[in-house]
Amino acid sequence: MTELVSEISKGSFKALSRAISLVENKAGGFADILLNLPATSPSAIVGITGPPGAGKSTLVDALIGEIVSAGKTVGVLCVDPSSPFNLGALLGDRIRMNKWYTHANVFIRSLANRGSLGGLHPSIIEITDVMKAFGFDYIIIETVGVGQSEIEIAGLADTTVIVLVPEAGDEVQTMKAGLMEIGDIFVVNKADRPDADAFEKTLKKVFRTSHSHYAVPVVKTIASQHVGIAELFAKIKLHNESDKRTDKHLWLLTEKAYYLIASKRMAGIHKEWIFDLIKAQLADEKEFNLYQFIEEIEENKLK
């Protein structure tokens, strides 16, 4: 697998696609790929998140155009809802972005979220690190858009962009604090709709009264018409150039490490398996102690 990683670093889209598939499905040799990844990468990770209907895909499409026009390379991971039948990406065709599929500076990959509540693929950290080995200037990750539970994107992206629409004005007051805190840049998309200016002022007022470590930019866009995209890209570049060696950056790395350790320790443990064990134990015994049951599982797993 060292050769595969070497081919990725040389700019092979074919090798990159193969490596992502191996890591995504945890197929043979995937661990060797991860262990041989380079320690550093020039890639800036941009997370695009927000509620359904905010126009995230259209915004990403426009942002790709801006990045390409600047002579930069970009890799895009689109995390889609899973098909209930085969767990594949339901919107895998990404019709809005199809003009970029053959572009030499653009790589697009659709991933199914496979039921993950946070709107991301279970192996998104590992897949992103494989993408970083290619050396893209920018890597964009677009989440499913499942609402406020997608806060986990902040643990992955260098810059988190929250996309909202003017109709969300009344919801800002009731939004979970977490969603408001993770955003490095807020976008009011579809800004040609009524109340866009009022919504922009509301957002800026929220951030002025918060104790943010810096002034959170609010950018108005009409992604379908490419309006405001240049300003958004400028804000992304500015944020990416800022000093990342903050406590927040260290905590994000901590979150990644914690998630990967937890995933490794839980390998092989599935709810269906636990269900069958409990069912069998209840059939043999009238009393069931949950904590003794957990201890038995831990002991057997460690053997």
Rounded Cα gap, residues 195 and 263, in angstroms: 44
For the chain, give the DSSP string: -HHHHHHHHTT-HHHHHHHHHHHHTT-TTHHHHHHTS-S---PEEEEEE-STTS-HHHHHHHHHHHHHHTT--EEEEEEEPBPTTT--BTTTT-GGGGGGTT-TTEEEEEEE-TT-TTSS-TTHHHHHHHHHHHT-SEEEEE----SGGGGGGGGT-SEEEEEE-GGGHHHHTTS-HHHHHH-SEEEE-STTSTTHHHHHHHHHHHHHHS--SS---EEE-BGGGTBTHHHHHHHHHHHHHS---SHHHHHHHHHHHHHHHHHHHTTT--HHHHHHHHHHHHHH-S---HHHHHHHHHHHHH-
Structure confidence by residue, pLDDT tens digits, 90-129: 444 355 577 888 899 999 998 875 544 444 667 888 899 9
Parallel, antiparallel or unpaired: strands 185-188 and 138-142 = unpaired
Q: What pLDDT score does 11 carry?
A: 93
Average model confidence (pLDDT) across the chain: 81
> pLDDT value at position 189?
96
The per-residue pLDDT for 188 is 95
Sign (positive/negative) of CA torsion 223, 226, 232, 233?
positive
- 149-188 residue pLDDT tens: 455 666 678 898 999 999 875 566 555 555 667 788 999 9
CA distance 48 to 141: 6
Q: Is 14's pLDDT higher than 90?
A: yes
The model's pTM: 0.79
Taking the mean position of all CA atoms in its chain, how far away is CA 62?
Answer: 18
Rounded mean pLDDT of 236-248? Answer: 76
Quickly count: other Cβ atoms within 10 Å of residue 5's Cβ: 20
Residues 74 and 107: their CA atoms lie apart, in Å, by 7
pLDDT at position 147 over 80: no
- The pLDDT tens digits of the residues spanning 19-41 come to 999 998 888 889 999 999 988 88
Whole-number pLDDT of residue 18 = 95
Tokens 């009524």 map to which residue? 194
Task: Tell me the C-alpha distance between 163 and 47, whole Å.
Answer: 10
Lowest-pLDDT range of 133-142, 260-269, 289-298: 260-269
pLDDT, tens only, 30-89:
999 999 998 888 899 999 988 888 899 899 999 999 999 999 999 999 887 544 334 444
| Res. 194: pLDDT tops 70 | yes
pLDDT band of residue 290 (cuts 50, 70, 90) is confident
pLDDT, mean of residues 233-248 = 80
- Find the mean pLDDT for residues 4-11: 94
For 243, residues 6+ apart whose C-beta sits below 8 A from its C-beta are: none
